[in-house]
Amino acid sequence: MLTYHKLKNNKLHIALVGNPNSGKSSLFNCLTGLNQQVGNFPGVTVDKKTGSTSLSASMNAEVIDLPGTYSLYPRREDEWVSYKVLLGQDKELKADVVVAVADASNLKRNLLFCTQIIDLKVPVVIALTMMDMAKRKGIKIDIAALERELGVPVIAVNPRKNKGIPQLKKAIEQTAQHLYHSPVRDFIDNKALAETSISAVKEQFPQLSDYTAIHYLINHESFDLNETMQKTIENIELKNKFNPTKTQAEEILQRYSRIRHIMQQTVSEPDPLKKSLFTEKLDNLLLHRVWGYVILIGVLFLLFQSVFWLAQFPMDWIELGFAKLSQGLSAALPDNRWTDLLINGVIAGIGGILIFVPQIMILFGLITLLEDTGYMARISFLSDRLMRSVGLNGKSVMPMISGFACAVPAIMSARNIENKKERLLTILITPLMSCSARLPVYTILIGLVIPKTYLLGFLGVQGLVMMGLYLLGLVMALIVSYVAKWFIKINEKSFFILELPTYRSPRWGNVLPTMISKARIFVMDAGKVIMIISLVLWAL
């Protein structure tokens, strides 16, 4: 159960949760704008995104974007982070209100997680996203009736168009002020799942809901409880022959049974045999056995061509600007070593850093667009067969592509790969990808060695060579993985289950902050090294 704390300086703490691809990140960006911070959760290498927002003139809030999860039965490290926060077992993170994000176009699956949170008896507001997608599918939702059935506020939002956000903020504030209360009755009869065991746990923890008590029985070993309490719960399990697997299975079946009943009352869905949506038609082309790979290679080619073509103009301006600055300082300052240090050491070093910023910003801006449109997930799907032949699976592609940016966060993202052997192989080969720190080196070498010519009048040779260098890193990574798989003796079945998000228009407002963030990281991290090398070269 969540541990609630007194609001300090009228600042509310909001936990944002939901299924992957439910629109949670879009809502977080909409609520917080540029007031965001990214770090790691204490003790684990899982991204922690926090931000601030104003709910009203009298109340501000801190929003934490918890990792996506499908239910309250965690498997991966990031799912455990969300789980512990929701169960009140995270010492660092406490929440006053939980905002559960649900995809209206896939409501049945999303409601499973929402109803589990409701039964924890925590203050919760449900934010219903993807209403436009549901409308295109012919799905109509009676939100007022759904709200009555669930017993908690349900607000329809569209973060991309800023619709429903004021209503959501008002519902959050009213929930924090206890104008809304948790439903008295559970969504399902949780106590009947293991009555004697639940009653025994609640004797030790009277504040727990019946459903929270079930989770204490299942996962108490991972909770922050003293040794006496751990032994007490263990004895309750043994005495009452508590079966966690059976209890979990019965709970899920009962929840889906009630969810189906609620959807019959509140949701109108079209005949599933009607014409397929635009997404399905587009997938027929983009995931085609032949054309899918041709398009993929074309997308990657355009990506690297654009890095050269679009960045050429700002790079020329930066180079010209620093040349003019150096000439001006040479004419104005006396001819001595300090002037030489300033012009050929400091100014040259700063110029050497800033001249690569346009390429880095453009590369990451284009990658952000691919992620936002939903195409990046298709790359994982297309590459699964190739990845399996070298001991990986389709999910390995995302860390490898992220490795083009930086190997450290890319390796961290490998936690989503359930199979231990595939996860280890992915971690081993990701540093072989050409990260952003190598981009300036490639650019210099290509500029020095490769002539600025075009094939067929429009195919830049420099862009082709750049693509070739990146593909070389990818090919070497696959070769190393193929060899390494014979030396890692872990026998574990591998499954590739991936939800393909619907195609959407990119969040243009999210592209520029991402580009600026990546440029700042390059300037502050790689820039320090470039500056030191520039000064060392001057001294030599």
Question: Average of pLDDT values for 329-336?
Answer: 83
Q: Of 417, 392, 410, 395, which is closest to residue 485 (Cα–Cα)?
A: 392
- Residues of the chain above pLDDT 90, percent: 28
> In which residue are the tokens 């995931």 written?
287
pLDDT tens-digit readout, 175-223: 988 888 888 889 999 999 999 999 999 999 999 999 999 999 999 998 8
Q: Of 375, 216, 413, 198, which is closest to residue 292 (Cα–Cα)?
A: 375
Parse the chain into domains and list their residue ranges: 11-176, 190-268, 291-487+503-539
Confidence check: pLDDT of 43 > 60: no
pLDDT tens-digit readout, 238-282: 999 999 999 999 999 999 999 999 999 999 877 655 545 667 778
Q: Which residue has the higher pLDDT, 312 or 471?
A: 471
Question: For the chain, what is the radius of gyration of the CA atoms?
Answer: 27
CA distance 362 to 310: 8
Confidence check: pLDDT of 300 > 60: yes
Confidence check: pLDDT of 407 > 80: no
Q: What local confidence, expressed as pLDDT, does residue 125 receive?
A: 95
Question: Average of pLDDT values for 411-431?
Answer: 80
CA distance 364 to 229: 50
| Phi, psi for residue 452 in degrees, rounded to 5 | -85, 75
Instruction: State the pLDDT confidence band at 502, using cuts at 50, 70 and 90.
Output: confident
Question: How many residues are listed for the chain in this entry?
Answer: 540
- Give the DSSP letter of residue 37: E
Residues 87 and 215: beta-carbon distance below 8 Å? yes
Confidence check: pLDDT of 408 > 70: no
> Is 540 buried (19+), middle (13-18) or exposed (0-12) by CB count in 10 A?
exposed
Q: What local confidence, expressed as pLDDT, does residue 289 receive?
A: 84
Confidence check: pLDDT of 171 > 80: yes
pLDDT tens-digit readout, 101-120: 999 988 988 999 999 999 99
Q: Which residue has the higher pLDDT, 405 or 302?
A: 302
CA distance 100 to 67: 12
Q: What local confidence, expressed as pLDDT, does residue 503 receive?
A: 75
Q: What local confidence, expressed as pLDDT, does residue 116 receive?
A: 95
Instruction: State the pLDDT confidence band at 42, using cuts at 50, 70 and 90.
Output: very low
- Residues of the chain above pLDDT 70, percent: 89
Q: Of 218, 210, 216, which is closest to residue 249 (Cα–Cα)?
A: 218
Q: What local confidence, expressed as pLDDT, does residue 195 receive?
A: 92
pLDDT tens-digit readout, 424-463: 899 999 888 887 667 778 888 888 888 888 887 777 788 8
What is the rounded average pLDDT for all residues in the chain? 83
- Give the DSSP letter of residue 147: H
Give counts: helices (H), strands (E), the chain: 23, 11
Domain covering 11-176 assigned CATH 3.40.50.970 in the classification: no
Confidence check: pLDDT of 318 > 80: yes
Confidence check: pLDDT of 98 > 90: yes
